[in-house]
Amino acid sequence: MSPRCNARRLAPGLLLALGITACMSAPQKSDAPAAAPTPADPQVAAQAPAPAPPANPYPGMTQRTAADGSKLYCRKEVATGERIAKERCYTEYAMRQLEAQRRDFEKSRETSAYGTSGGPR
């Protein structure tokens, strides 16, 4: 083999080694959380920004507010046989029902005689 072919084989390994070395030499952040400064003046404390709204309890869903003020959770879904995704929105109650159905399904799969392999256990 020519030296050129060996260089091509060694180049990815050499780049990986250099990348690992660079990452190891980079300064690391400490795991200790930084203490939040407390304002000494009570007026400044009263003007502090309001806490952020709670995080979305359903990952992958966008949270919206309906015209009547209820919360909606929306996502794009592609129906069987369709090519174009349509946005479907669910109320909080519907989301709780979907979660309960999913839990029931998972529980029935665990106790099923057939499981996921397709044959009896």
State the average pLDDT over residues 55-60. 81
Provide the number of structural domains found in the chain.
Answer: 1
Residue 29 located in a structural domain: no
**Domain that includes residue 104, residue range:** 62-111
Question: Are 81 and 87 in contact, with CB atoms under 8 Å apart?
Answer: no
Q: Is the pTM of this model over 0.85?
A: no
Q: What end-to-end distance do the CA atoms of the chain give, in Å?
A: 55
Cα(67)–Cα(31) distance, rounded to whole angstroms?
Answer: 44
Q: With bands split at pLDDT 50, 70 and 90, how would you rate the model's confidence at 58?
A: confident
Residue 84 located in a structural domain: yes
Residue 55 located in a structural domain: no
Max Cα distance, the chain (Å):
78
